[in-house]
Structure 1
Amino acid sequence: MTSQDLRVDLISREYPPEVYGGAGVHLEYLARDLRPLADVRVHCFGGKRDEPGVTAYPEPAELAGANAALRTMGIDLAIAAGCEGTDIVHSHTWYANFAGHTAKLLHGVPHVVTTHSLEPLRPWKAEQLGGGYALSSFCERVAIENADAVIAVSAGMKRDVLTAYPSVDESKIRVVYNGIDTEQYQPDRGTDVIERLGIDLSRPSVVFVGRITRQKGLPYLLRACHDLPSDVQIVLLAGAPDTPEIAAEVEGLAIQLRNARDENGVIWVQEMLPKHEVVQVLTHGTVFVCPSIYEPMGIVNLEAMACETAVVATATGGIPEVIADGETGVLVPIDQVADGTGTPVDPDRFVADLASALTGVLQDPARAKELGLAGRRRAVEKFSWSTIAEDTLEVYRSLL
């Protein structure tokens, strides 16, 4: 079978235009760069898509009002049926893992799992899903332990897979990084978005982009910002809270921070901005910050680097494989509790180290510029989607 004859069915909860996290970004570009190499079909959740080869699946009406994880499994069963005729299925995140595993059994084809995160390392999701967390954990565990190949998005993620699922044969795990489209993500010197959002270009700025979830570490950042120089403007592109509890915590901390700084010291945009608008905000930031306490790789760091913005990020998960410490950004050390939550052993120390790293970059604009330029070079040279598509195709070929 030639590559062009190979039918690959990619399965994901997210796919454009319904994208809210890194997995959806990954699927968008992986599908695009795989299409010249194979017959690619995409199965996703949500509303009907007009793109050829893409099928979206709504929630089963019979499960309306049921636990969210159970509704996900209902969609997965429909997707598994829709994969008939494929040569290989490739699922992304627990939301799609049950579909991939069921399709493997039903159609007798290999199943590849890409691990963007791991449920055992996100125990706080129990407060989001309730009993559904047991279901999400089941879907992920069964799929990973029975997959024909597991793609880890970083070496750090590979280590996490082996720790969380020790029965998995290490030889089945391949490291294939996430990537970045450096044509779409490149510096935008325009100011229309900046002006609309009220960002003051005469001030140094810290930019955060991400969902409001435990793993993104936003509460630690909000505490750290109290120790930043008074002229610094904090720009938060942060929305889609996982739970009312984390939403209330972040809201309270943001109010405290606003009260402690001047009127325009904190700009908080809670709606999801279009990609091109995020690019402009990243471009004009003095420094981008990623305070995550759990991050298998962190595509958002690559996005900032591609926009020539210096990055300060936690030295956890796959982040140190993306950011060259001292060359393209600054890594903040963190000693974490060994309970799967990623919680810092000494939260006050982590907050202080985060504030110190940010201050160091903010007070040295020439260094910030050098870090940004080096980050762009690294993004272009090391993380292209064409390379990632070829590496992924090699994984498929090894199973046929």
Structure 2
Amino acid sequence: MKVGLLTREYPPDLSGGAGAHVEFLARELRALTDLEVHCWGDGEAEGVLRHRPAASLAGADPSLRALSVDLAMAAELAGRDLVHSHAWHASLAGHLAKLLHGIPHVITAHSLELPRPGGERPPGEARTREAPPGGARALAHWARRTAIESADAVVAVSRRMREEILAAHPALDPAVVRVIRGGVDSALFRPDHGTDTLERTGIDPERPYALFVGRVAPRKGIPHLLRAARTFDPEAQLVLCTGPAGATAEDDEVRELVTELDRVRDGVHWMTGTLPRPRLVQLLSHATVFVCPSLHEPLGMVNLEAMACGTAVVASAVGGIPEVVDDGTTGLLVPYDARRPEDFESGLTQAVNRVLDDPRGAARMGAAGRRRAVRDFAWDQAARRTHALYTELLTGPSHPGSR
């Protein structure tokens, strides 16, 4: 079986959970099938073909540039038996390959969120306040809808994400939408007892700390966390790892809130830029509590990474997060209601302080989280389920390209 895996992000260019998902899924799928990865970027590697937007479209609408990559990908997929695309940036390439080469198309919808200004930028590059071109979102919406509603199978990364896909695309046959959850590499994400990363960044290893890891984006809920942190246990530190800083309204709001928080408490550490994975693992390992205040998450892989490092999690009870964090066992879930943000922030404060005030309980939650991550979220399990779906599409009554 020859499979083409299509994605925008792929190592070494990673900036979000979707890219990490593809990285680890591809690694496991290589043991099961003949896999060829098509991604954005430059350079060469065995089994990986990288593509760049058409040079003639430099400075054009970002969505047009993304679609030019899709055209290049589709042209290179001759000889593949099946194509599997991830997220909207590569979805049209999968659809075109289905039509052009007569092969099944599987699409993993990591989020139904449409791209924001600067969404076509290379991974890791800061966002700017550039105004979105008039039809950019319409083009992205069309590409995503066309690909999803014509796919032979749509993979949702959680049960909740499946419900959202079916609600957003009522034309879809529910039987086409399968749940295959993402995972975590528990050999990479495991407790690290070293302290060099803490010392290098000024974090006091003798003091407890709450940790946030994620992009500065509206759905990540960082402002709620920063307001809640004003009344965290004063002995605790707060560590934020947010990736490259940009020049958007969201970045400005976070800067202002961090400055305000610095005035009322010490031990606030804000790290920007891409953090090497070993340093991230050490920060996750030493955190007393990992905090995920997201307003929406299809699954929330970062919670799995914290759990695999043996750290208790406090997270919002939204999206697929309750399918990952076992409330009261591996962490605490906080209800979120957009109409009452102050209740959410108060709930975050209470849950974080509850974990900070009970180190033994936090350790028990961390140990339970590690066990759950290893048992239920291994990447080889996800790869086997994905490969079984490929086999079903290629050998079942609905033969290649029939939908």
Same fold (TM over 0.5): yes
Find the aligned partners of 2:291 and 2:44 in 1 and give their Cα distance: 34
Paired AA for residue 133 in structure 1:
R
Deviation for aligned residue 1:204:
1.3
Find the aligned partners of 1:170 and 1:124 in 2 and give their Cα distance: 32
Find the aligned partners of 2:78 and 2:208 in 1 and give their Cα distance: 54
Deviation for aligned residue 1:58:
1.4
Q: 1:235 aligns with which of 239, 257, 282?
A: 239
Contact 2:245–2:273 under 8 Å retained in 1: no
Structure 2 partner of 1:75: 69
Q: 1:32 aligns with which of 27, 50, 64?
A: 27
- Asked if 1:330 corresponds to 2:332, the answer is yes
- Asked if 1:46 corresponds to 2:41, the answer is yes
Q: 1:378 aligns with which of 372, 380, 401?
A: 372
Structure 2 partner of 1:363: 357
Deviation for aligned residue 1:123:
8.1
Contact 1:119–1:140 under 8 Å retained in 2: no
| Closer/same/farther in 2, CA of residues 202 and 218 from structure 1, 3 Å limit | same
Deviation for aligned residue 1:74:
0.7
Find the aligned partners of 1:242 and 1:313 in 2 and give their Cα distance: 25
- Asked if 1:345 corresponds to 2:344, the answer is no
Q: 2:316 aligns with which of 314, 317, 324?
A: 314
* Structure 2 segments unaligned to the other structure (5+ residues): 120-128, 395-403
Find the aligned partners of 2:231 and 2:166 in 1 and give their Cα distance: 38
Contact 1:211–1:241 under 8 Å retained in 2: no
Deviation string 1:122-170 (CA, Å, 9 cap, x unpaired) is 8899987443222221111111111100000000100010111111110
Paired AA for residue 328 in structure 2:
G
* Structure 1 segments unaligned to the other structure (5+ residues): 1-5, 336-343
- Asked if 1:60 corresponds to 2:54, the answer is yes
Contact 1:180–1:302 under 8 Å retained in 2: yes
Structure 1 partner of 2:122: none
* Superposition TM-score, scaled by structure 1 size: 0.93
Paired AA for residue 216 in structure 2:
I
Structure 2 partner of 1:21: 16
Q: 1:278 aligns with which of 261, 277, 280?
A: 280
Structure 2 partner of 1:152: 156
Q: 1:91 aligns with which of 85, 88, 95?
A: 85
| Closer/same/farther in 2, CA of residues 217 and 125 from structure 1, 3 Å limit | farther
Contact 1:215–1:293 under 8 Å retained in 2: yes
Residues 171-210 of structure 1: matches in 2 within 5 Å?
171-210=175-214
Deviation for aligned residue 1:7:
0.4
* Superposition TM-score, scaled by structure 2 size: 0.92
Q: 1:108 aligns with which of 79, 99, 102?
A: 102
Paired AA for residue 328 in structure 1:
T
Structure 2 partner of 1:166: 170
- Asked if 1:7 corresponds to 2:2, the answer is yes
Find the aligned partners of 1:173 and 1:368 in 2 and give their Cα distance: 37
- Asked if 1:118 corresponds to 2:112, the answer is yes
> Post-superposition, which runs of at least 4 consecutive aligned residues in structure 1 deviate over 6 A?
122-128
Find the aligned partners of 1:241 and 1:167 in 2 and give their Cα distance: 40
Paired AA for residue 28 in structure 2:
D
Find the aligned partners of 1:233 and 1:136 in 2 and give their Cα distance: 41
Taking only aligned residues, the RMSD between alpha carbons, in angstroms, comes to: 1.6
- Asked if 1:287 corresponds to 2:289, the answer is yes
Contact 1:10–1:91 under 8 Å retained in 2: yes
Contact 2:234–2:265 under 8 Å retained in 1: yes
| Closer/same/farther in 2, CA of residues 138 and 242 from structure 1, 3 Å limit | farther
Deviation for aligned residue 1:346:
0.6
Contact 2:62–2:118 under 8 Å retained in 1: no
Deviation string 1:236-294 (CA, Å, 9 cap, x unpaired) is 011245761111111111111111112xx210110111001100000000000110001
SS of aligned partner of 1:83 = coil
Q: 2:258 aligns with which of 254, 260, 265?
A: 254
SS of aligned partner of 1:211 = coil
Paired AA for residue 248 in structure 1:
D
Paired AA for residue 327 in structure 1:
T
Contact 1:30–1:388 under 8 Å retained in 2: yes
SS of aligned partner of 2:233 = coil
Contact 1:48–1:57 under 8 Å retained in 2: no
Contact 1:12–1:44 under 8 Å retained in 2: yes
SS of aligned partner of 1:399 = helix
Stretch of structure 1 that moved more, 233-242 or 296-305 = 233-242
Paired AA for residue 43 in structure 2:
K
Contact 1:213–1:242 under 8 Å retained in 2: no
SS of aligned partner of 2:189 = coil
The count of aligned residue pairs is: 383
| Closer/same/farther in 2, CA of residues 21 and 123 from structure 1, 3 Å limit | closer
Find the aligned partners of 2:83 and 2:164 in 1 and give their Cα distance: 23
